[in-house]
Structure 1
Amino acid sequence: MAKSKDISVVIPLYNEEESITELCKWISRVMESHGFHYEIVIVDDGSTDNSWEIINNISSENGSVKAVKFKRNYGKSAALNTAFRCSEGDVVITMDADLQDSPDEIPELFKMIKEDGYELVSGWKKKRYDPLSKTIPSKFFNYITRKITGIKLHDFNCGLKAYTSELVKSIEVYGEMHRYIPAIAKWNGFNRIGERVVQHSARKYGQTKFGLERYIYGFLDLLSITFVSKFKKRPMHFFGTMGTLSFIFGFIVATYLIGEKVYINLFLNERARGVVEQPLFFLALTALIIGVQLFLAGFLAEMISINSNKKGDYLIEKKIGL
């Protein structure tokens, strides 16, 4: 019976032909020096350079390297999600392919999972070699994320993280949600989340694949994941509550206006202003309509949630060792 693997090192990449060979050799040196039984799972996210040919060569020399190539570029979340499904290690380590994450950190991350009892350990690049145009927005982004999620991490976007196998097999990462895996993990019941200061190296080859727009998308993704995580299984709780409050507000205002007109006409014998002549009536009518629409939206979302079990499927062009 084959020995189970201690570690799966997961590497999502897109056009990293210059760095992937050096990274795999570095990982192998660290693993062999510590006696780990390991595998390297690479997901080529539709690269247009020679990355896949180089991965083929690496795999032919190192049987621990497995790889998947997407038909097109789906994004980092899709690559991670696919790699998580393919991984066999007791501990899963993720890192970027650009050599900014150091494989020398792997043994300590592994120890924090196996010996210290953490389910997720996130790297913190406390000292960064990035320009201020990246570090300042990053600090603000991480501050907002900490406040919203309640998870006290300094660097949510760090690619160097360690997970238990149970965790990565239990979550679904989609869209651009790779930044919020700690939040997804927490909302799925994995609360033992830790942090470790890790080394950050300046980018050695090529250029970053992300611009400042990632912070805008990141904030929108944060709102999305917060909503989905809290109301995915009970959308009626959100839409139904908002719809009910809106309907009640509209009903009370409309009833008041109609009652006021009846009172003035019947008991004071005066001519009251027409209900439809008052702007407040149209506000009440709008609230009634919105309330009904929100309630129906909640009902439909509830039906979809109950009947839908669809998972993200990505077109895989080639595989190695899987």
Structure 2
Amino acid sequence: MVAPMHNEAGGAAQLVAEIAAALENTDHEIIIVDDASSDETLRELSEATDKFPQLRIIRHERNAGQSRALRSGVLAARGSVVVMLDGDGQNDPADIPLLFDKYDQTHAAMVAGERRARQDSSAKKLASRFANGVRRRLLRDGATDTGCGLKLFHRDAFLRLPYFDHMHRYLPALMRREGFEVVFVPVSHRARAHGKSKYSNLGRLMVAFRDILGVLWLLARAKSPGNVSEEPRK
């Protein structure tokens, strides 16, 4: 389990507790990547390690953004299957078993959540709907909501993807670029109870258009070798 956090004081320890409850019947670790928080997030997480020995805290010296924090967490992960979710508490950890159920049914390299009944402002939902529509039309990734932070994937598949800032928003397209199967499952969404959003609507849209051009270039330059196998020795 990997969750990036930046200035999530007041909700950090509670999220860890919810993740632990959702995974209590499984062998798991909880990796929280503190992306150079300037509030009490790190203190809250450190105190939580007494109650949750499976909690590991990865600390960034400088703020590097959600994609870099996610990558740091995946690099640190010991398991072959990783679940990611946003550290702001808007993804409900109780939905994690839904991803595992879908994974058990399909064995896809990625199971991506898609939020239903989003608890965001009307302006944010409108901007997201527009950006998702443009992205889906151009990238043809089959996703209706790549902004949902709740996803399950094979660790080795993720580490084969090209890294760039904001790449977490294009994981279905990038996974399919490498020939991996991606499936989707509806999940819930919660209103933010602590901290502040790290993105503005205008800023998100401006970055999204630039990133989509980059992902389109990556898709255009990909060449599939078909099945790859190693020949036996004579």
TM-score (norm 1): 0.66
Deviation at 1:66, TM superposition (A): 1.0
2:229 match: none
1:114 match: 104
1:173 match: 163
Matched, 1:203 2:192: yes
Contact 1:41/1:83 (<8 A) preserved: yes
Deviation at 1:232, TM superposition (A): 7.3
Deviation at 1:63, TM superposition (A): 1.5
Partners of 1:196 and 1:148 lie apart in 2 by 22
Matched, 1:10 2:2: yes
Q: SS in structure 2 opposite 1:196? A: strand
Deviation at 1:177, TM superposition (A): 1.6
Partners of 1:18 and 1:130 lie apart in 2 by 20
Largest Rg, 1 or 2: 1
Within 5 Å, which residues of 2 pair with 1:1-322?
A: 9-32=1-24, 35-190=25-180, 192-212=181-201, 213-231=203-221
2:228 match: none
- In structure 2, do the counterparts of structure 1 residues 172 and 80 end up closer, same or farther at CA, with 3 Å as the change threshold? farther
Deviation at 1:92, TM superposition (A): 1.0
Partners of 1:45 and 1:174 lie apart in 2 by 16
Partners of 1:113 and 1:83 lie apart in 2 by 21
Work out the percentage of aligned pairs sharing the same amino acid. 29
Structure 2 counterpart of 1:15, one-letter code: N
Partners of 2:222 and 2:81 lie apart in 1 by 28
Q: Residues 155-193 of structure 1: CA distance to partner in whole angstroms, max 9, x if unpaired?
A: 011111111223223224322221111111111221x11
Q: Residues 42-65 of structure 1: CA distance to partner in whole angstroms, max 9, x if unpaired?
A: 111111111112211112332211
Q: Hey, which of these two has a bigger chunk of helix by percent?
A: 1
Deviation at 1:205, TM superposition (A): 1.2
Partners of 2:218 and 2:115 lie apart in 1 by 29
Deviation at 1:219, TM superposition (A): 1.4
Partners of 2:52 and 2:120 lie apart in 1 by 33
Partners of 1:181 and 1:173 lie apart in 2 by 10
Structure 1 counterpart of 2:166, one-letter code: E
Q: Residues 25-82 of structure 1: CA distance to partner in whole angstroms, max 9, x if unpaired?
A: 11111211xx100001111111111111221111233221112111111111110111
Greater relative contact order (Cα 8 A, min sep 6): structure 1 or 2? 2
- Any stretches of 5+ residues in structure 2 without a counterpart? 224-234
Partners of 1:156 and 1:138 lie apart in 2 by 10
- Any stretches of 5+ residues in structure 1 without a counterpart? 1-8, 234-322
Deviation at 1:93, TM superposition (A): 0.9
Contact 1:81/1:172 (<8 A) preserved: no
Contact 1:92/1:164 (<8 A) preserved: yes
Q: SS in structure 1 opposite 2:159? A: helix
Structure 1 counterpart of 2:172, one-letter code: P
Number of residue-to-residue matches in the alignment: 222
Q: SS in structure 2 opposite 1:195? A: strand
Q: Residues 115-137 of structure 1: CA distance to partner in whole angstroms, max 9, x if unpaired?
A: 32221111111211111211111
Q: SS in structure 1 opposite 2:106? A: coil
Q: SS in structure 2 opposite 1:115? A: helix
Structure 1 counterpart of 2:157, one-letter code: L
